[in-house]
A = this chain, B = another copy of it.
């Protein structure tokens, strides 16, 4: 199992798709985007759910946390059942978010990867992609890494997704 953590617009999804392309075996990819897609629409912008404020701040409530926990269990079960799984996540809770995964993972081997990107560069890419609330990239760039421990860090500021993916893949095989 590979778990990538990084702020919005740091380039996690691009790295995941490149990883799936360069790794010889088939890997399943899940992430916070696919989790949010699985939620009822009303939990977006609802107390208890996930709120994307106009300034890019993201806050999540108790219902979100509870569902996230069982979702985590399910993803880990796939890995335990033999699937190769890549997860990209945004550790809004910092070390507590990492701990949530650790609790589910038990002794399952995992490669922890930090995906960094300069705050200003990520904010520019957020404008370029055009499908995100402005401000998330800057708000999350540093805070999601505080207190989190990695096996490997990549930085997309000056390095292409494909090159980052090859670096990560070299640690897998």
Contact = CB atoms under 8 A, between A and B. Distances in A.
A12 to B, nearest CB: 10
Nearest to A37: B34
A7 B158 CA distance: 22
A171 interface: no
Within the oligomer, what is the number of copies of this chain? 4
Given A17-B128, A26-B67, A29-B38, 20 more contacts: A15-B128, A18-B127, A20-B42, A21-B127, A26-B40, A34-B38, A41-B130, A73-B77, A73-B81, A74-B77, A74-B78, A74-B83, A124-B162, A125-B160, A125-B161, A127-B161, A127-B162, A128-B161, A128-B162, A158-B158
20 contacts: A11-B128, A14-B129, A17-B127, A18-B127, A21-B127, A28-B67, A28-B70, A34-B38, A41-B130, A70-B81, A73-B78, A74-B74, A74-B75, A74-B77, A124-B160, A124-B162, A125-B160, A125-B161, A127-B162, A128-B160
